[in-house]
C-alpha cells in the first residue's frame, strides 16, 4: 500500500488500519526479497513499457525512503540495489511478436545471447493488437505479418527487428 503523503515506499497494510499500532514498511531483504525492492524493479519496467513517468517517480520514492538504510547496511538490501542497478543501466524492454511455430527460435536466441538490461516478453499478434488499441506504440508502424521483435528504449524510442539476424546483431 502506498503512502500519498510521503511517497517513500510501500507498506504492508493500508492507512488507517485501527488494529495496528505500527505500519511496517520493509526495505531489507530476509529469506525473501523485500517487497519494496521488487516493486521498484516492476515500477521501472512499467515505466519503460508504458512511457508513464508516474511509475519512475514511485520507484524513485522507494529509493529515497530506503537510502539511509542502504548506506548503513548495503548487504541487507540486495533487491533494492539490483533495482537501482537496473535504473542506472541502459535498459530496454524487448517484445517478441511470434506465432507458435517461430516463437521457440526467437526465445532460444535470447537464452543463448543473454544481455544485461534487456527484459523480454513474448506475445502473439492478438495481444499486441490489444496493447496498440490502448494507445501503446502510437505512431509506430509494426509489420502486418510474420514474426518480429521491437525494443522500447529508456528514452521512449522504439527499435524494430524484423528478422532473427537483425536481433542477433543487436544482442551481439
Q: What percent of the chain has pLDDT over 70?
A: 78
pLDDT greater at residue 124 or residue 139:
124
For residue 14, the model assigns a pLDDT of 57
pLDDT band at 8 (very low <50, low <70, confident <90, very high): low
Q: Quick check: 161 and 148 in contact, CB under 8 A? A: yes
For residue 2, the model assigns a pLDDT of 60
Over residues 79-85, the mean pLDDT reads 92
Q: Find all residues with CB under 8 Å of 23, minimum gap 6, and list them.
A: 11, 12, 13, 15, 17
State the Cα–Cα distance between residues 146 and 107, nearest whole angstrom.
15
DSSP SS3 for 33: coil
CB-based contacts of 4-7 (< 8 A; 24+ apart in sequence): 6/61, 6/65, 7/57, 7/58, 7/61
Closest CA to 74 of 27, 116, 111: 27
Nine-digit cell at 124? 502473439
Q: Quick check: 81 and 33 in contact, CB under 8 A? A: no
pLDDT band at 74 (very low <50, low <70, confident <90, very high): very high
Residue 73 above 90 pLDDT?
yes
Closest CA to 124 of 141, 140, 108, 101: 101
pLDDT band at 23 (very low <50, low <70, confident <90, very high): low
pLDDT band at 79 (very low <50, low <70, confident <90, very high): very high
Residue 47 above 90 pLDDT?
no
Q: What percent of the chain has pLDDT over 90?
A: 17
Residue 133 above 60 pLDDT?
no
Amino acid at each position: 500500500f502506498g503512502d500519498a503523503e510521503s511517497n517513500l515506499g510501500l507498506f504492508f497494510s493500508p492507512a488507517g488500519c485501527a488494529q495496528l499500532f505500527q505500519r511496517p514498511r520493509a526495505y531489507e531483504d530476509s529469506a525473501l526479497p523485500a517487497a519494496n525492492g521488487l516493486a521498484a524493479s516492476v515500477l521501472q519496467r512499467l515505466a519503460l513499457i508504458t512511457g508513464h513517468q508516474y511509475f519512475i517517480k514511485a520507484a524513485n520514492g522507494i529509493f529515497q525512503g530506503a537510502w539511509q538504510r542502504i548506506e548503513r547496511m548495503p548487504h541487507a538490501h540486495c533487491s533494492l540495489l539490483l533495482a537501482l542497478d537496473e535504473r542506472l543501466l541502459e535498459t530496454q524492454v524487448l517484445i517478441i511478436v511470434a506465432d507458435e511455430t517461430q516463437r521457440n527460435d526467437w526465445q532460444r536466441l535470447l537464452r543463448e545471447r543473454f544481455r544485461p538490461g534487456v527484459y523480454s516478453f513474448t506475445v502473439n499478434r492478438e495481444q499486441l493488437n490489444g496493447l496498440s488499441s490502448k494507445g501503446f506504440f502510437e505512431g509506430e508502424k509494426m509489420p502486418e505479418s510474420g514474426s518480429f521483435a521491437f525494443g522500447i528504449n529508456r528514452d521512449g524510442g522504439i527499435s524494430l527487428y524484423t528478422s532473427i539476424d537483425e536481433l542477433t546483431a543487436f544482442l551481439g
